[in-house]
Amino acid sequence: MSREKEEKSESNGVCGLCGKTFGKRAMTKHLTACVKEKASDETSSSKQKPKSGKLFHIVVEGRYQPEYWIHIAASAQAKLEKLDIFLRHFWVECCSHLSAFTIDGVTYSGSGATYGVLGSGFEDDMDDESMDVSLHKILVPKMKFYYEYDFGTTTELSLKVVSEYEGFIGKKDIQLLARNEPPDIRCDSCGKPATEVCSNCVYGGEGWLCDECVSKHECGEEMCLPVVNSPRVGMCGYTG
């Protein structure tokens, strides 16, 4: 299947709560019921009553690569910087670049240095708001907002608050609920599954290579990065 055809077809994903596979659109509806069922099981099996509180169900996807997507549950009391850390560690972090959220017209910025990662040395924009703000103060159900990581080789994400609900909060403020299965990307040269991508050609939608064809690529093997299940695939030094 070509890259173009794969992007036009609906991608599937796996629910992290029950292990079942659903299409991208069906996953949102499934999780609404699965989260409640999981909470009921935890209540009946736990000797101590689990800590409950308000949670946001948020779906995140590549802004221009919607075949990459995840669903998360975030405590309404969690700080925005916690969401930044989660997205960095799970999906985009490579060189401790700057990052920012745009929420209801307001920019909230941060950097890898803020979170104990070897940072870039740049200070946050003085006109931007701090990420040291609780999610319940800035997010509401059905709201759509955006995230950028690295303002040189930028990865852009689109986020939507699916709902706010009462649920049980685990040890982590932000938990993964589901994610897409890796897209079926084929080698541009021979059609076999791609394992490497050229960081030079990827911006033109090309440069997808299998293990055999990568050595013949005109840009050289040193320009190639592994194909990983992330919207940052092929960018900067990202290896997953």
Domain boundaries in the chain? 3-180, 185-240
Residues with pLDDT less than 50, the chain: 1-8, 113-124
Other beta carbons within 10 angstroms of residue 77's beta carbon come to 15
User: Which two tokens mark 135?
Assistant: 């999610």
pLDDT score, position 217: 94
CATH of 3-180, one of 1.10.3470, 3.30.450, 3.20.20, 3.10.290: 3.10.290
User: Which two tokens mark 18?
Assistant: 């029950």
pLDDT score, position 41: 66
Number of DSSP helices (H) and strands (E) in the chain, helices first:
3, 13
pLDDT score, position 92: 96
pLDDT score, position 127: 75
> Can you tell me which residue has the tokens 């599937």?
12
pLDDT score, position 4: 44
pLDDT score, position 126: 59
Give the Cα separation of 172 and 176 in Å (integer).
10
Give the Cα separation of 15 and 197 in Å (integer).
28
Query: Contact, 139 vs 131, CB < 8 A?
Result: no
Query: Contact, 174 vs 56, CB < 8 A?
Result: no
Spatial CA neighbour of 194 closest among 154, 225, 161: 225
Q: For residue 54, give the 3-state DSSP assignment.
A: strand
Question: What is the 8-class DSSP label of residue 239?
Answer: -
Please tell me the pTM assigned to this model: 0.87
Give the bridge partners for 99, in sequence order: 110, 149
Question: What is the 8-class DSSP label of residue 205?
Answer: T
Give the bridge partners for 224, in sequence order: 198
